Amino acid sequence: MQKFRFDLKKSKMTYLYYIIIFAILACLIFGTYKLAGYSLIQSHDPAEQHLPVLENYRQLLGEFINHPFQPLQMWSWKLGLGADQFQTFAYYVIGDVFAYITLLFPSSAVVTVYQLTLILRLFCVGLSFVFFARHFKLTNSAILGGAIIYTFTSFSLYSSLMQPFFLTPFILFPLIIVGIEKILQGFKPHFFIFTFSWMFISNFYFAIVLGIGAFVYLVLRFIYYYRKNLSFFKTAGTFLISTVISLLISAFIMLPSILAVFSSTRSGGLFANGLTSFPAYYYINLPAQLLAGGVSSFWVKFGFSSLAVLALFHLFYHWKHYPLMTTSLSIGLIMLLFPMFGAMFNGFQAPSNRWILLLFVPISLGSAFFIDSLKKITLPEIKYLSICLGIYLLLVSLPFYINGTTEIFIPVIFLISFFVSILLYRQAKNSGRIIFGLILVNLIFTGVSFASPFTNFYSKTLMPSGSYQKLSSNLFDGLDNSLPKSNSFRVSTISQNYNFGSNYMLRNNLNNDLNLINSYYSIQNGAVGLFSNRLQNAQYNNNIPIENFDDRTIANNFFGVKYLFTHSNEPNESKIPYGYTLFKTKSENKNKPEKTNLYETKNNFPLIYWQSDVTSNQKTAKLSASDQERQLAKTVSIADTSGFNQKQSTFDTKNVAYTIVKTVNAGEPNETKTRVTNNHYRNNPVSDSYQIKIKNAKKYQNSELHLSLTNIKHQSLSSKEQVNMAIFNNATKPDNQLLDTNGPRSAQKSLRKQLTTGSSNTGYSIGVKSDLTTNSIEQLGIENLSFFKVLSDTTLNMGYQKQMPKSLDLLLSNSGTYSFNLKITAVPLGQTYTNDVKQIQKNKLNSLKFATNRVSGKITTDQLGILTSSIPYSTGWTATDNGHSVPVIKTNSAFIGLKLKKGPHHIIYSYQTPGLSTGFLLSILGLIVWGSYSLTPLIWRRLRRL
């Protein structure tokens, strides 16, 4: 049994050695990105979420420092349609200690500081492990070896660039273990309280993962070592009191965050994405994950130094000597086999295995013990290691053979090299240093390979140096400078049109002067998500509930979108909603045809307006998505309609008659055409195509065209059917020559694909193409984790049609059988709709004024009605009418509103983050209790002296 000791006297030179080693490795790995012309800003989550949030938060911190007595800005009009800024930022930066480093630099340097802190976070990961490992009887070589193995894994390297705040748990977990050991060995609980408070404050998701990990460690440590040496109830009481104090201290951020999650789009998701087991390819690739993390799935990204594999064999050979580590690793291995555990750690949602970060401590510590045990390795253990190594090499060769990937090649070479070095040098005096040197070389090779744009596709998703700064400073080619700065209207772009390359899409606001409806955050307003789903927004996602709302005219008008930015020579440049006319255009480079265009409309709804006619939520729910959208310009939907003028709305939407024709082998002598009559589509993507023929197309001109798909289902082919189809397609492709028609090879490729990506083919898309646009809905595969949703009903907007097309192409992506009910609706948009909008604009809330967490205005009504808005609903909103408090209600299922009687009204809406005030009081109480807990022994000693 390895003892955790606090009385070991070690040279502090270990820290200096670590600093030098880390500097060398970091320069080689991150320098490779620099030499290749990349910044350290990944084009997806970091550029779209983390960095914009940090820039905004740095600005808020600067304003708070300059004006400390001003009220805290809790509501922001810049986060999509508007959102709680505290709750949104709490997930990313408020509890992140590294975010506050930006205060040491001017705001203009945030982008540079962000990139530097990525490396600093990684440095602190290893530093935490060194501090932790120094409590064991280990040599410097062993401690440093374990530290750099812990630091430079595929998980940590990936997280440092993709989701940098995920390095915080790596820093915290070793410190938490130290805190637990201090209490178990009779020390004061202050270190535990400090680290647990930090854990709760940093991020509620980390708190779940690390909290469970800490509890498992405590139970196992107690069972294996302390159960005979301490008082159970006294120790349990200390842990309980310390945990409660930590929860109280962190309440100011934990309470609002928990309330936000329960009312967010993430609540009520499908447990484990509906999985009871992982796909076959997951299990095939799992053994190789210890060495290479690039072929990972479901967030299994180990990618340790090759020595760690041998260290694991060593631990289990001496399992009686290492019971805690082998038990925890065994539990971890079992948990990796079932999706339910990943989902449990992930808030009972997607089966994300990011909890594996808990296993990095025992694996890295085990590697350190292995280094110091080299001289004690016996011949029987050598034989055992060789057998385990042989079996392991067979397991990792399987995915290599199936996938043809070369990523595992270098780690396997080093694995064999480590084994040979142990055979040759295990008896040598400096065996630990030899192995440590080989670890360094191993990590240099794998780290540089991970960073190389020639060997790793991931590095190619990084933005070129300076590109983020250029993008954020000139997002709309300066056309936005001419727009008024006001929260009373919003702006947007067109779907798939604002694409900057490298997988970067404009999903978040980078311009603080504009209110862009797009938003991409982990915590999103659940009411807005409900509204988006109710209207069957094809672009809905838990993290992106609105996006461009599929460019639907009435929805954009309802949101108050007055201006649209588009790029010419990009997809959907002509898919402009009704009523938006070209206002300005500008080209950044006169030698290039690309232009930025600015469109304007007079049909945008006011932010807040009054409506006399109401409809119940129950009646609204029975309408089609197109009619519900059209209803927004006629009535307001509320829960309780008693006493109101309930109007039975009539809609001018028209059902479009159509037929669907299937063509097989188009353009070939054996071409056949058949009419689809049963809503079932047996599809072979190579040979089959479908066309929607619209009847009497001239009847539906000047309308927006909606295609509603309901009861969507997809039945994939069996493994055998997929193989047979691959052989058939290979033999019948019209462009194939004789030597290309290799049936067995086609069968092998089909099987390889199934084993690589899963035979279930859970992902597919259904698209529709016209001369104006191509629109589609995608069923993401189960491995897409938080982006996964079960596709059932949707509405595809094909844009405003002055002349209705006579036909549309129906695009089915995968083989198999599709089934869905299709309804095509034409939504006329002309003078009738414009008159409805003008009436709404007449009833707007006048004299609109905005202040921090507040909006106010005046209106006079001639009868009982509802003050309606497009401000997202939250329990944090309160309101007064002529100085009297009035209840805030939900309008249109998602937005704030008020019941107004006849007469003049002075309305004030105020906002306060739910749970924040209570959380602050609890945090103050927690600090007082902690202080009292610390001072009690001192007070008792002084009282005794008296």
Q: What is the pLDDT of residue 735?
A: 53
Residue pair 461/329 in contact (Cβ under 8 Å)? The answer is no
The CA–CA distances, whole Å, from 431 to 335, 377, 734 equal 35, 12, 64
Residues of the chain with pLDDT under 70: 1, 268, 293-296, 402-406, 454-457, 501-503, 588-593, 718-762, 936-946
Instruction: Give the CA-trace dihedral at 147, 148, 150, 151, to 10 degrees.
Output: 120
CB proximity list for 697: less than 8 A, separation 6 or greater: 803, 804, 805, 806
What does the alpha-carbon distance between residue 774 and residue 751 come to, in Å, rounded to a whole number? 32
Residue pair 128/22 in contact (Cβ under 8 Å)? The answer is no
The one-letter amino acid at 372: D
The one-letter amino acid at 309: V
Q: What are phi and psi of 123, to 5 degrees?
A: -60, -40
Q: What is the pLDDT of residue 760?
A: 47
Query: For residue 4, which of 132, 188, 135, 176 has the smallest C-alpha distance?
Result: 135
Query: For residue 413, which of 391, 436, 433, 396 has the smallest C-alpha distance?
Result: 396
Q: Where are the alpha helices (DSSP H) in 622-742?
A: 625-631, 719-732
**Residue tagged 């410190």 (tokens):** 175
State the pairing for strand pair 658-664/764-769.
unpaired
What is the length of the chain?
946
> Taking every pair of C-alpha atoms in the chain, what is the biggest distance, in angstroms?
109
713 strand-pairing partners: 819
What does the alpha-carbon distance between residue 898 and residue 845 come to, in Å, rounded to a whole number? 12
Burial class of residue 637, CB neighbours in 10 A (0-12, 13-18, 19+): buried
Please compute, for residue 920, the number of CA atoms within 13 A of its CA located in the half-sphere on the CB side: 5
Residue pair 885/879 in contact (Cβ under 8 Å)? The answer is yes
Residue pair 461/451 in contact (Cβ under 8 Å)? The answer is no
Q: What is the pLDDT of residue 749?
A: 64
What does the alpha-carbon distance between residue 353 and residue 350 come to, in Å, rounded to a whole number? 9
pLDDT per position as a tens digit, 578-588: 999 999 998 75
Name the DSSP class of 922: H
DSSP track, 112-174? HHHHHHHHHHHHHHHHHHHHHHTTSS--HHHHHHHHHHHHSSHHHHHHHHH-GGGGHHHHHHH
Token pair belonging to 847? 């004299």
Query: For residue 451, which of 29, 903, 899 has the smallest C-alpha distance?
Result: 29
CB proximity list for 437: less than 8 A, separation 6 or greater: none
What stretch of H or E contains 526?
A: helix 526-534
DSSP track, 923-935? HHHHHHHHHHHHH
Residue pair 596/584 in contact (Cβ under 8 Å)? The answer is no
Crossing angle of helices 154-162 and 431-451, rounded to 10°: 40
Crossing angle of helices 204-221 and 190-202, rounded to 10°: 140
Instruction: Give the CA-trace dihedral at 118, 120, 121, 127, to 10 degrees.
Output: 150
Q: What are phi and psi of 537, to 5 degrees?
A: -65, 115
Q: What is the pLDDT of residue 461?
A: 82
What does the alpha-carbon distance between residue 904 and residue 370 come to, in Å, rounded to a whole number? 80
What does the alpha-carbon distance between residue 598 and residue 583 come to, in Å, rounded to a whole number? 5
Token pair belonging to 80? 């999509």
Residue pair 545/532 in contact (Cβ under 8 Å)? The answer is yes
What does the alpha-carbon distance between residue 317 and residue 531 come to, in Å, rounded to a whole number? 58
